[in-house]
Structure 1
Amino acid sequence: MKLNKITLGLIVASCAIAFSANAALQNFEIKLIPDDSLNIIHGLKESHMFSTDGGATWQAYTGKEDNKFLGSVEVQVAELNNKIINSVTYDENASYATPGTVVIYDGYFWTNSWFANPGEKPGSNAVWARGEAVNVVSLGTFKFTPFKGQQAIDYQKKLKQAVAAQRKVIGYYPEWGVYEAHDYFTPEKVAYDQISHLNYGFAVLNKDGVVETHDTWKGPELMKDIAKRTKKAGVVNMISIGGYTNSQLCVMNCDQNGKEVKAFQAATSTPEKVERLANSIINHMVTWKFDGVDIDWEYPTSEQEAQQYTQLIKSLRTKLDDLGKQNDRYYQLSSAVTANHNHIKYLNPAETAPLLDSVNVMTYDYHGAFDPITGHNSPLYSNYNDVDQKFNIDSTMREYNLQWNIPKSKLLVGLSWYGRAWGDVEGSEKITGMPGLFNSGSATVHGIWDDKDEYTGTTPYSALKQMALDKQFQRFWDAQAHVPYLYNASLQHFYSYDDAQSIQEKVNYIDSEGYGGAIIWDLSGDTQDHELGAISAKLLSQENEQEQEQEQEQAQKEGLENIKYEIARQPNGRVAIKSTVHNKTYNDLNRVMFYINGFYEGEMYKGKAYYSYKTVNNDNSVTIKTNFKKEPKVGDVVKVVLAEGKPGQSRNVKNDKVLYQTSITKDMLK
């Protein structure tokens, strides 16, 4: 980045041109000096406002967080005028529903007396009343330039590394949340201190295969408001593209040759269309001042779609990097991805995951009224009665990490701030003490978040918490799946959901397993006092697993012979291996791994228990309980080995040292 060649004397002199004598004197005293090497203007004060779009919009200067002018930008500085700050520039494509809205148009303030339709320009009819002239007391215009060449590349690399090391809590903000069903969840209701990222959902694909705003009435002002609030809070502001409905929508070539073509499929069907879509996404991101892009294609389910998805991700990463080098920024790229282990391969993880800053795993909607029997919406672990033992958070995250080699630090676990319901559920107990669970049910419960003719029972946690206090409902806890559910015997309604206890367990799981953080669907589901948000925000104060490993001492291999092992059935019904070790040895351990019949079950590493539970005992020892994934059989071989490498990394099994080996007996299964 080159320094401005304009001398201080010329800068001060230029600031005074065309100003009043008083303004010139003020400018001289303030000494506004641009520093192109630091991207700041020395001398900015809270009595100033500034514009980076030629005076179309103005922002009050509130502190040093505003004093960062990146890339190629021209900054106008003026005396603070609160009326300008509190007004908006008239947009002929927008409607103005609230009487008394003040806009700026043609050099004057205008106020609407009633609803103003798009295209009803101020001065064209009586809806707008003209006020005083807009008076901008300018203090100077300053130009900044971006880094060049290798310096730009190095700066991008530095920013990218910082993003990779960050523990993330990404909250999804639903555009439709401002309406009644979501209790008018406007941007000021977001607890910005509880998240690192806000993903605005959704921009959608139209029939021409380009991105556009879905809610043209509320959307524009929402995006402007959120851009300001996230910037002030230091939260990364991302635009999420697609969503479930838009992904499923048949927009082009419907039923041609008997095959339905959906939005993303159609928009990426040729290289030319991929290029057009990617360009429109970048333009939308820049127009609405987002810091990055989140692709929510639900879901690629064929080899052809895998190729199209891959090309879109590649194109976006290239374009975001090129744009970032032009304006000294790093634009983040993430993707909201399936929790279904059968479909992960269609994401082409080997090629796409390295290009993404986070892989946002939607570990919810495992079960719902689309299933004929009840189950858990977002179970942490499996229940023995689950038809698919891999439909749970732990199995999904293992699949991404171990099967597809995506680093844990890049994988984010989905947290659900809502529940799903079934009707016509009898109270019989497939599991003793748990009425309704795994019983037949129907899609007959209308949830608070359901559309008019929907019966998915989708209901926010804030409402479910109140329902749990109703005497007609009983709360039950599934000790195997580690999630609750509500059952109303008189109505025969069954609600699967998450509450404070299960969210805390999931946060503990994310931390202990070393995953990169969490995503939240969605922010509007929490209580007014942000009960669940306060729990998930703890992830932001905990050190990243990678940083912990770098700071910890080299592991020592002493005390391994003193580890005590026990295999037995636990109170929750699972068979587990319990390893008891002195606390110091546990904190110094290298990689100790547990296997049954050669299949990985869990491990211990430098004071962390992976896919296991830790209990601290009174005698300064630690017990690690590792549940076997499947019900063992007599004769199955259990092996504990001392291995090389770190969790999530491959290893040379020839170098493993066997610490303990035994076969399952009948007594262990009692």
Structure 2
Amino acid sequence: MLCLTMPVLGGMTFLKPPKPIVLAYVGGFRGVVDADNIMAEKLTHINYAFVDVKNNRAWLHNLATDTTNFRKLNGLKKRNPALKILISIGGWAWSENFSDAVLSDTSRQAFARSAVDIVRQYDLDGVDIDWEYPGMKGEDNVFRPEDKENFTLMFKALREQLDGLKQQTGKPYLVTTALPGFKEIFTHTEMGKVQEYLDFINVMSYDFYVSGPTVGHHTNLFPGGGVANEPSGDRAVQLYREAGVPMEKLVLGLAFYGRGWQLTTDNHQEVPRQAVKTNRVGGFTFIKDSLLTNPAFVRYWDKKAKAPYLYQPEQKFFISYDDEESVRYKCRYTRKKGMAGVMFWEYFNDPKGYLLTEINRQFP
């Protein structure tokens, strides 16, 4: 990443730090993307979610829609010429075939070539891999012990293929990945080796709790206390550092959506919290405009966790989410730690841009 120099007194110069990454995952799985309403000037990167894996190749699941979306997203560069558009391959639903696709050197090369062909054909800026999960069960994915080494070799193949494309076009290309914040992932990956081929890693520091019976903050920055080995964004970052990933290659994940549960008791402050049912919540625009304005829902702030939550006592409804205050703390955390920036899932969960606007306040 280019660093500009700034003159100061005495003939000395200092490096101007690079602009922090502000990366949005934009879902193309819903159909044609409403690109006109994406605040492109407030973003540095868009990861297009998702490209499927089929027959050991990167595969556009909905060709007509995907190609239309690539054109629309590239059109945003008229408003922000520095914006980078990447394809994100996999995701929760489309990771089942990764293990087979990268099982041999021949298949890895074919997979990498197919991904780079999409980048070349649609004039994009790189490849993001969202394999959920190498060596571990995800939704219904194939996984095997060989995934550990093959995960590394996959990125090596992608890096080499994209470097080859760069020699043809003169344009640099990015290789990135999205990975979870839980400890088990490090048993099944070689992050110290993997990071050598990556420009940065998007740490999915959210979904710490998805279903029950034990629930809590799903995207807290720090532990709130009262739970052994409580997951948090800070803990995830430290795990990646311990695994050999430089801080400047880590991007902290923000959740632009909430998760909710019906608790077993009416004591919402008791930890660990226990739930009897999972409830759908929605994105932050809905939370801010419809729930925070509803007197039945009360907002609380966990000072230790640096995390908000809503509680509706009549239904014992507990909602965990990110808001402007927690986003502010997370952005300041990344600057203090020397991280690359922040990313979030998913852009249209907050179409009014409440949280993106706050990110830009912190990253002027």
TM-score by length of structure 1 reads 0.49
Q: Does the C-alpha gap of structure 1 residues 187 and 442 become closer, same or farther in structure 2, counting only changes over 3 Å?
A: farther
Find the aligned partners of 2:135 and 2:100 in 1 and give their Cα distance. 14
Aligned to 1:536: 359
Cα displacement (A) at 1:526? 1.5
Are 2:152 and 1:310 equivalent residues in the alignment?
yes
2:89 alignment counterpart = 241
Partner-residue secondary structure (3-state), 1:176: coil
Kindly indicate whether the alpha-carbon contact (under 8 Å) linking 1:338 and 1:344 is maintained by their aligned counterparts in 2.
Answer: no
Equivalent pairs, count: 342
1:194 corresponds to 2:33: no
Corresponding residue to 1:322 among 164, 175, 179: 164
Please list the CA deviations of residues 507-556 of structure 1 after superposition, one character each: whole Å capped at 9, or x if unmatched: 1111122211011111112242x111011124543xxxxxxxxxxxxxxx
Quote the Cα distance in structure 2 between the aligned partners of 1:496 and 1:540. Answer: 25
User: 1:333·1:357 contact (CA, 8 Å) conserved in 2?
Assistant: yes
CA distance in 1, matches of 2:31, 2:359: 23
Once residues 479 and 366 of structure 1 are traced to their aligned partners in structure 2, the CA distance between those partners, rounded to angstroms, is: 18
Q: 1:301 aligns to what SS in structure 2?
A: coil
Opposite residue 462 of structure 1, the aligned amino acid is T
Q: Structure 2: how far apart are the matches of 1:319 and 1:539?
A: 36
Report the secondary structure of 1:172's partner residue. strand
Structure 1 equivalent of residue 259 of structure 2: 420
Q: How far off its partner does 1:286 sit?
A: 1.3
Q: Of residues 230, 235, 240 in structure 2, which corresponds to 1:400?
A: 240
Higher relative helix content: 2
Determine if the alignment matches structure 1 residue 483 to structure 2 residue 325.
no
Bigger RCO of structures 1 and 2 (CA < 8 A, at least 6 apart)? 2
Q: CA deviation at 1:196?
A: 0.6
Asked if the contact 1:353–1:406 (Cα under 8 Å) also holds between the matched residues in 2, the reply is: yes
Q: Is the 8 A contact 1:374 1:494 kept in 2?
A: no
Q: Does the C-alpha gap of structure 1 residues 426 and 215 become closer, same or farther in structure 2, counting only changes over 3 Å?
A: farther
Map Cα deviations across residues 478-534 of structure 1 (whole Å, 9 max, x no partner).
Answer: 111110111111122211111111111111111122211011111112242x11101
Between the aligned partners of 2:170 and 2:362, the Cα distance in structure 1 is 29
3-state SS in 2 of match to 1:300: coil
Which of residues 159, 172, 175 in structure 1 aligns to 2:25? 172
Report the alpha carbon displacement of residue 295 of structure 1 after superposing the two structures with TM: 0.8
Partner of 1:517: 341
Q: Does 1:229 align with 2:76?
A: yes
- 1:334 alignment partner in structure 2: 176
Of 374, 378, 385, the match for 2:219: 378
**d(CA) in 2 for partners of 1:289 and 1:423?**
47
Q: Given the alignment, which residue of 466, 490, 499 partners 2:323?
A: 499
* CA displacement 1:262-303 (0-9 Å, x = unmatched): 311111122111111111101111122211111111121364
Distance 1:527 1:323, change over 3 A: closer
1:299 aligns with 2:133: yes
Alpha-carbon spacing, 1:444–1:515, altered in 2? closer, same or farther (3 Å): closer
List gaps (5 residues or longer) in structure 1.
1-159, 180-184, 248-261, 432-436, 448-456, 542-670
Distance 1:430 1:535 in 2: 28
> Residues of 1 paired with 2:74 and 2:336: CA distance?
33
Once the 2 structures are TM-superposed, how far is the Cα of residue 374 of structure 1 from its aligned partner? 2.2
DSSP 3-state at the match of 1:537: helix
Residue 200 to residue 461, structure 1, CA distance change in 2 (3 Å): same
Q: CA distance change for structure 1 residues 385 and 215 in 2, over 3 Å: closer, same or farther?
A: farther
Tell me which of 329, 332, 348 is aligned to 1:508.
Answer: 332
Letter in 2 for 1:378: T
Deviation per residue, 1:348-394 (Å, 9 max, x gap): 112110211111111110112x23122011011002222323x1011
Q: Distance in 1 between matches of 2:319 and 2:269?
A: 17
* 1:286 has 2:120 as partner: yes
Read off the aligned partner of 1:375 and give its amino acid letter.
G
Q: CA deviation at 1:345?
A: 4.1
- Shift in CA distance, 297/321, structure 1 to aligned 2, threshold 3 Å: same
Hey, what's the Cα distance between the residues in 1 that align with 2:31 and 2:299? Answer: 30
Aligned partners of 1:424 and 1:166: how far apart in 2? Answer: 42
Gaps of 5+ in 2: 5-16, 137-144
Q: Name the aligned partner's letter for residue 526 of structure 1.
A: D
User: What is the correspondence of 1:630-641 to structure 2 with a 5 Å cutoff?
Assistant: none
Q: Is residue 461 of structure 1 aligned with residue 295 of structure 2?
A: no
Partner of 2:8: none
SS, match of residue 505 in structure 1: helix
Alpha-carbon shift at residue 165 of structure 1 (Å): 4.6
Whichever residue aligns with residue 269 of structure 1, its letter is L
Going from structure 1 to structure 2, the CA distance change for 1:277 and 1:196 (only over 3 Å counts) comes to: same
For 1:230 and 1:344, locate their aligned partners in 2 and report how far apart those are by CA, in whole Å. 37
Tell me how far 1:222 sits from its aligned partner.
Answer: 1.3
C-alpha offsets along residues 558-608 of structure 1, whole Å, 9 cap, x if unaligned?
xxxxxxxxxxxxxxxxxxxxxxxxxxxxxxxxxxxxxxxxxxxxxxxxxxx
Tell me the secondary structure at the aligned position of residue 244 of structure 1. Answer: coil
Distance 1:293 1:312 in 2: 12
| Alpha carbons of structure 1 residues 212 and 189: separation in structure 2 relative to 1, 3 Å | same
Measure, in 2, the Cα distance between the counterparts of 1:186 and 1:288. 18
Aligned 8 A contact 2:328 2:362 in 1:
no
Structure 1 vs Structure 2 CA RMSD: 2.1
Task: Name which of 214, 229, 240 aligns with 1:388.
Answer: 229
Q: Which of the numbers 357, 366, 372 marks the counterpart of 2:199?
A: 357
Q: Tell me, in whole angstroms, the C-alpha distance in 1 between the residues paired with 2:91 and 2:284.
A: 21
Contact between 1:200 and 1:239, CA under 8 Å: does it hold in 2? yes
Residue of structure 2 equivalent to 1:470: 294
Of 105, 127, 133, 1:271 maps to 105
Say which SS state the counterpart of residue 520 (structure 1) adopts: strand
Residues 425, 289 of structure 1: CA spacing in aligned structure 2 closer, same or farther, 3 A cutoff?
farther
Structure showing greater radius of gyration is 1
Query: Do the aligned partners of 2:327 and 2:358 also contact (CA within 8 Å) in 1?
Result: yes
Note closer, same or farther for the CA distance 1:411–1:161 as it changes in structure 2 (3 Å cut): same
The one-letter code matched in structure 1 to 2:205 is T
**Is the CA contact (8 Å cut-off) linking 2:205 and 2:236 kept in structure 1?**
yes
How far apart are residue 438 of structure 1 and its match? 3.2
